[in-house]
């Protein structure tokens, strides 16, 4: 059975982009793969400076994973800080990582441009991410398109390490494959930029009905009147709808037709926003109910995390023995 590894930072409330870009893939893979999904708590420290808020967000990501449908009997869910071996591995990988490789990482530049302090942690976070991945020997890493470069860095570091310390018959690391969903376009936020936890432009599928509708009504549009034809591909509302329902879904095809209609049959953006609101309510109806139950059962969450960390540590112990021996420790 192929092994899968991925994670999400507890840097804020999960949004539709995290769901469509990442979680949806975890849900599909958990049935016939060995799935490890973690909460990237160390990574969140590159942006989060409020301990209470971080504690809350860490817990919330786990609850949301479970509410979305991750099944702990089918996948291992754990916290990054419960497996500190990844920090040791990050150091070892950092020692074979050329600085120029970090200079090229685009997410660092994007985040600094958005006002996030340019710390060493933020600069080298792709190395820690490589350690998160390589520590569990996965075959596949499902992520959204913005993380593609980081998985490529991981593959490169694994190869560099193998070249330095292994040989063709006995590589130290398995070089994992990147997995993007078929429609790999990034989900835009209400302002049309990439939807991000920390940019304040997300849509939280667990919001109460009224604020959720209000949030969706906030999506920025152009000023075309209903009777004018519209290109769905240029619309943020349509991009979000298509990412959530799927491009081939009948509802997406129908909405695209509504965009193109003209004259008295034309569509105003309010109608498209209402369609998106109904889609979100429909898609997450079960998840919203499950979440309420999960919030009331903290001992279940503790047990899930204990089991998940145990399973992750069992794999990591073997990998770290191999890596330490390879470098001469
Ligand atoms: N807008 C998006 N469209 C598609 N996929 C997305 N992902 C994030 N935003 C979108 C995917 O969700 C996972 C979350 O990874 P992360 O939390 O480690 O980092 P991120 O990519 O930086 O996510 P955010 O939401 O933008 O968080 P902040 O604001 O903290 O930077 C990844 O698989 C990512 O590709």
214 — alpha (psi -120 to 50), left (phi > 0) or beta? alpha
- Higher-scoring residue by pLDDT: 200, 93: 93
172 lines ligand 1 (CB under 6 A): no
Contact 267, 228 (CB under 8 A): no
17 lines ligand 1 (CB under 6 A): yes
**Residue 197: active-site member:** yes
Number of residues that make up the chain: 329
Distance of CA 145 from the midpoint of ligand 1 (Å): 9
Of 114, 197, 218, 254, the catalytic one is 197
Whose C-alpha lies nearest to ligand 1, atom 14?
8
User: What is the number of the ligand 1 atom nearest to the C-alpha of 198?
Assistant: 29
181 lines ligand 1 (CB under 6 A): no
Q: How far apart are CA 72 and CA 328, in angstroms?
A: 37
Q: How far apart are CA 114 and CA 111, in angstroms?
A: 5
CATH class of 3-187+297-327: alpha beta
Instruction: Give mean pLDDT, residues 246-251.
Output: 95
pLDDT, one tens digit per residue, over 57-92 is 999 999 999 999 999 999 999 999 999 999 999 999
Tokens of 303: 């047990």
pLDDT of residue 26: 95
**Domain extents for the chain?**
3-187+297-327, 209-283
CATH homologous superfamily of 209-283 = Tyrosyl-Transfer RNA Synthetase (1.10.240.10)
Of 49, 109, 111, 224, the catalytic one is 111
Distance of CA 17 from the midpoint of ligand 1 (Å): 7
**Residue 194: active-site member:** yes
252 lines ligand 1 (CB under 6 A): no
pLDDT of residue 181: 85
pLDDT, one tens digit per residue, over 161-192 is 999 998 878 899 999 999 998 787 899 999 99
Q: Do domains 3-187+297-327 and 209-283 have the same CATH topology?
A: no
Give pTM, 2 decimals.
0.94
40 lines ligand 1 (CB under 6 A): yes
């Amino acid at each position: 059975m192929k092994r899968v590894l991925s994670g999400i930072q507890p840097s804020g409330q999960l949004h539709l982009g995290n769901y469509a870009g990442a979680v949806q893939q975890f849900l599909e893979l958990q049935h016939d793969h060995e799935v490890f999904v973690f909460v990237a708590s160390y990574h969140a420290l590159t942006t989060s400076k409020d301990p209470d808020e971080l504690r809350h967000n860490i817990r919330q990501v786990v609850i949301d994973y479970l509410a979305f449908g991750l099944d702990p009997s089918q996948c291992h869910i754990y916290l990054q800080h419960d497996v500190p071996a990844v920090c040791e591995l990050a150091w070892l990988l950092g020692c074979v990582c050329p600085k120029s490789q970090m200079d090229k990482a685009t997410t660092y530049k994007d985040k600094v441009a958005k006002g996030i302090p340019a710390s060493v942690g933020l600069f080298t976070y792709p190395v820690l991410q490589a350690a998160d991945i390589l520590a569990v020997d996965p075959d596949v890493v499902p992520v959204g398109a913005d993380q593609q470069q980081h998985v490529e860095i991981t593959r490169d570091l694994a190869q560099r390490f193998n070249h330095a310390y292994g040989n063709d018959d006995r590589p130290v690391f398995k070089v994992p494959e990147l997995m993007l969903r078929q429609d790999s376009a990034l989900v835009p936020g209400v302002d049309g930029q990439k939807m991000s936890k920390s940019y304040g432009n997300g849509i939280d599928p667990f919001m109460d009905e009224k604020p959720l509708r209000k949030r969706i009504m906030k999506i920025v549009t152009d000023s075309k009147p209903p009777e004018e034809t519209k290109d769905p591909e240029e619309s943020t509302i349509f991009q979000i709808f298509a990412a959530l329902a799927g491009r081939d879904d009948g509802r997406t095809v129908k909405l695209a037709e509504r965009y193109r209609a003209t004259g008295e049959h034309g569509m105003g953006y309010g109608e498209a926003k209402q369609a998106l609101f109904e889609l979100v309510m429909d898609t997450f109806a079960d998840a919203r109910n499950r979440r309420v139950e999960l919030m009331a059962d903290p001992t279940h969450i503790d047990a899930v995390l204990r089991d998940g960390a145990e399973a992750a540590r069992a794999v990591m112990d073997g990998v770290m023995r191999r890596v330490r021996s390879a470098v001469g420790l």
